[in-house]
Amino acid sequence: THVVADPCIRCKYTDCVDVCPVDCFHEGPEFLVIDPDECIDCAVCIPECPVSAIHADTELPANMAHFLALNQRLAATWPVITARKAPLPEAERWKNGENKLLDLEQ
Ligand code: F3S
């Protein structure tokens, strides 16, 4: 499967959604996740993300390894998103941030 990782948080550009052939993206308030049961590993979403948030599970950076289980867990409850929309208003400010999940959890 493919995985949405930390750079998406507080940005949510949603360019990825437009190219997904199987509608496997699910939307939460601060970021998107991929449903691993729906993703067909086509990889077309990877170059679409302006902040390079999407990785194959086999190529996830070590410091983002926990996003694999997080995508699976959150995709089970968050609704599917099928159309691109405006990014979060603070996206430009947050796009270079790191470990943004930690900020969210505090
Ligand atoms: Fe997030 Fe990148 Fe998609 S910021 S919403 S994974 S285009």
Gap from CA of 13 to ligand 1 centroid (Å)? 5
pLDDT in tens, 3-33: 999 999 999 999 999 999 999 999 999 999 9
Q: Is the CB of 53 under 6 A from ligand 1?
A: yes
Residue % of the chain over a pLDDT of 90: 96
Which of 80, 71, 67, 94 minimizes the C-alpha distance to 13? 94
Distance 100 CA to ligand 1 centre (A): 14
Classify residue 82 as exposed, middle or buried by CB count within 10 Å of its CB (0-12, 13-18, 19+): exposed
Domains and CATH numbers, the chain: 2-81 (3.30.70.20)
67 CB near ligand 1 (under 6 Å): no
Report the complex ipTM. 0.95
CA–centroid distance, residue 59 to ligand 1 (Å): 17
* Structure confidence at residue 23 (pLDDT): 98
